[in-house]
Amino acid sequence: MENDGTGGAAPTRREYLKFGSAVLGGGLLAGCTGGQSEQTPAGTATRTTASPERTSETEPYTVEMAPVGEVTFDSIPETWVAYTGDYADMGVALGRGDGLTAIGVRARFGAHHYEELPGVSVDKEALTQLWQDGTGKEVFYELDADVHIVDPNFMQHRLGWSGSDVAEVRDNVAPIVGNTGFTRVYDWHADYRYYTLYEAFEKLAELFQARDRYEAFAGYHDEVRTNVQSRLPSSTPDVAVLYPADVPPESFYPYLIGEGTQSKQWTDLRVGDALAKHGVTDAQAGGETLDYETLLEIDPDAIAVRIQGEITDAYFEENVVSHLRDHDVASQLTAVQDDRVFYGGLTYQGPILNLFQFEQAAQGLYPDVFGAEQLFDRQRVADIVNGEFDP
C-alpha cells in the first residue's frame, strides 16, 4: 500500500514508507500472517436479513458460490462488507454502494475513479478499515452487516483466522460469501474453482438481486473491449508488471500476467508477459524482488508500474519515470529509452474499475493509437449504476 488514499493527493515518500513497507513486506496483501489452518468446506449457511426498516422485500433465494456452497437469504442484504476492492467495486456497479460499510484497506479500493461518473460516489473515508495491524472478529460484530463478501479461505490463509473463527462470524453475525480471484497462484486455492471477473460479478448480482445491471454492464463491457481490440496493432509488446518495493524504486515485486482478475486489462490487450518468459516467480507466490540489473537481463518492451491509491501523473513522473531515466542502470532499459514506462493501476478491480484500467493500459501501451482518448462513455456507465437505462 503506497498511501492511505486520503485527501485525494499523491502520497508523500514518508506516507509511502509508513504504509507501503508494512504491507509489501507482509506478502503484498494486508493481513498476511501466514496462518495455515484448515480450509473451509462447502456448506449451507442461512441468514435472515429482514428488519422492520427494510423495504427490499423478496421471497427467500439461494446463492451458490465456491468455496462456501449455497447460502440462503430471506431478503436482499442492505449493509455489506467487502474485504477487497474488486468485490466492493462490483457492489457499487450493482447500485448498492450506499450499503457498503467497510473495506480491508482503503488505499486499495479505487473509489476515486467514481468521481468521473455523474451521480456515482462512495465516501471511502467513511468506510471502516478492517485491517488494523491485523483483522479481528470484533469489528465484524460491531459492523453487524447483512453479508460479508470475502473468501473464507482468504480469511484463514491470509488473515490468520482459524476455521472456528470463520464459522463463528458466519453463524453469529452474517454469511460469508466470496472467492479469491484477483490472482491464481495460492496453493490453498488449488481444490476449488476460480471465477473470472464477470463470473464473480454475476454471483454478486444474484446476491443483490440486480440481474439487470449485471447484464447491462456485461453487454457494454463486450462492446468496449471489442472496439479497442479491433484497433490494436498486429504485434503487441512483452510487458513487465511491477510493484515498487520503495519510492523512488530501487527494486520491484514482480506480478505475472495470469488468469486472475488483476490481469484482465493485460490479457484483453493481448500483451506478452516478459517476466513469465524469463522464469520469474510471481511475488504473491513467493517470488523475490527484481533489481535493475535483473530487469536489464529481461529487458521488457514496456513496463507497467502498479501503485495502490490515487496516483497523479505528476507524482508518477517525478517518483518513477524520472528516477528511471536518471538511474545508471535503469536508463539502459529499452522500455525507459523508448518512453514505455507507465502507470499500471491497482490490484483489485471490478467492472467499473476495469473499464478505467483497460483504458489506462491501452493509452499507456499505444499512445499513438489511443492518445488521451476516452475509450468508454462515463455517462453510460453512471446510468447503469444508477438504474437509469432500458433493460
DSSP state of 318: I
Cell of 100: 457498503
Same domain, 192 and 284: no
**Mean local confidence (pLDDT), 67-91:** 98
This prediction has a pTM of 0.86
Would you state the pLDDT for residue 57? 60
End residue of a domain, out of 225, 242, 267: 225
* Domain presence at residue 268: yes
Same domain, 180 and 292: no
Cell of 269: 490487450
Collapsed DSSP state (helix, strand, coil) of residue 33: coil
Number of independent structural domains in the chain: 2
Question: Closest Cα to residue 346, out of 84, 80, 16, 82?
Answer: 84
Phi/psi of residue 53, each to 5°?
A: -80, -15
Would you state the pLDDT for residue 7? 28
Same domain, 317 and 195: no
* Domain presence at residue 13: no
Question: Closest Cα to residue 99, out of 152, 143, 47, 52?
Answer: 143
Same domain, 190 and 268: no
Domain containing residue 294: CATH number = 3.40.50.1980
pLDDT one-digit tens code per residue, 270-304: 999 999 999 999 999 999 999 999 999 999 999 99
Cell of 91: 457492489
Would you state the pLDDT for residue 58? 72
End residue of a domain, out of 186, 209, 225: 225
Determine contact, residues 284/183, Cβ cutoff 8 Å: yes
Determine contact, residues 263/328, Cβ cutoff 8 Å: no
53-59: long-range pairs with CB below 8 Å, 24+: 54/78, 56/209, 58/209
Same domain, 207 and 182: yes
Determine contact, residues 77/197, Cβ cutoff 8 Å: no
* Domain presence at residue 120: yes
Same domain, 207 and 244: no
CA distance 273 to 258: 9
Which run of H or of E encompasses 132? none
Same domain, 207 and 268: no
Would you state the pLDDT for residue 333? 98
pLDDT one-digit tens code per residue, 156-172: 999 999 999 999 999 99
Same domain, 164 and 298: no
Determine contact, residues 311/10, Cβ cutoff 8 Å: yes
**Mean local confidence (pLDDT), 132-145:** 97
* Domain presence at residue 98: yes
Residue 267 belongs to domain spanning: 232-383
Least confident of 51-65, 186-200, 263-277, 372-386: 51-65
End residue of a domain, out of 195, 225, 255: 225
Same domain, 310 and 346: yes
pLDDT one-digit tens code per residue, 246-265: 999 999 999 999 999 999 99
